[in-house]
Amino acid sequence: MGSIDHLHRALAACPLLEDLVCIYTTLSTPDSLDTPGAYVSINRVDLPRLQSASLHFWSHLDFQYFLSPIHFPPFLRLKLELPGDAEYDLRNAYPTTMDMMLRLPSFFLIRQLGIYSYSTYHGMTTYAVHAGSQSDLDGDISQIKQPHLLEIRCKVASGAPRLYKSIAKSLPLQTLELLVVGGFCGPSRDFVDLLAKASSLTTLTLWFLPYADYLIYLAATPSFYLCPRLRVLRFKNTDISAYQLIQVAVSRTKFVVRVGHYTRDIARFCVLELKGCKNIKDKMEVDQALRTPSLEVRWK
């Protein structure tokens, strides 16, 4: 087993490197240092031409030690394969946010985020996170193009995943403009925390959600208003009912009317898009309840 220091020395000798792959690597880390962040000031590795990095470590601590001294370019495409359902926080690799901005600038360019989960063989569930900048958006502003600015994957055998908490803790959700959530299977608290931090969100797509009860948290009240800048809301293949949908849409439409004007922090909710929502039996009921010049309802 080699040391993390030896690997960094080797990388420092390759400033023209464009692609990097580390697969299931186990490295010895300095015993004298308490955190990966303390490792930043000891070594410096400049990789100004690196276009993509795919990192698969056995331990989340190992990849934090690996990241900490490396100065990556802003156009880096970073892919992380996490061990199981480990809690992670990329920020722990750096002593301060400024250090992280200098070494991993692409992280702060994230404006679009997709979070997906799907069942695989032997009862395993795969979770994937795809993040992109403003230029990584496709034509219908619902998905993020490949290759992604940041991609995170992990496989979990059972139980409630900790991935959602890690995302809320470590990713710059406050600057997100678009969020796609597919197959969310965590507790409602994680759903609320995720959206509470995404305060600048303008487009939200929710698809394949078999348990829709927590979607009612999207309803606006004077004391609780998730995603106040939201303009476009999409439900695809969810179990939301007509009653829940009307409650969410009407509350968000009327809330701005009660305020009396639009501000930087409160936007006009203007597009509701629906596709494959089988619990909605009567489309006419929804259309009549949501008939207002300020809201466009689209059935796909």
CA distance 19 to 160: 35
Counting Cα atoms < 13 Å in the Cβ hemisphere of 245 gives: 28
| Kind plus residue range of the DSSP H or E element containing 116 | strand 112-119
pTM of the model: 0.87
List all residues 6 or more positions away from 165 whose beta carbon is below 8 Å from its beta carbon: 87, 190, 193
Q: What is the per-residue pLDDT for 48?
A: 97
Instruction: Please give the Cα distance from 90 to 103 (Å, whole number).
Output: 12
SS3 126: strand
List beta partners, residue 147: none
- DSSP secondary structure of 150-211: EEEEEEE-SS--SHHHHHHHHS-GGG-SEEEEES--S-HHHHHHHHHH-TT--EEEEEEES-
pLDDT reported for residue 181: 92
Containing 236, the helix (H) or strand (E) segment is strand 232-238
From 204, 198, 195, 191, select the one nearest 175 (Cα to Cα). Answer: 198
pLDDT tens, per residue, the chain with 300 residues: 578 888 888 999 999 999 999 886 666 666 545 555 555 546 789 999 999 999 887 777 777 888 889 999 999 999 988 776 566 778 888 888 899 999 999 999 999 999 988 777 677 778 888 998 875 555 444 556 666 789 988 887 765 567 788 888 888 999 999 999 998 877 888 899 999 999 999 999 999 887 778 888 999 888 888 999 999 999 999 999 999 999 999 998 876 555 554 555 677 899 999 999 999 999 999 999 998 878 999 998
pLDDT at 128: 86
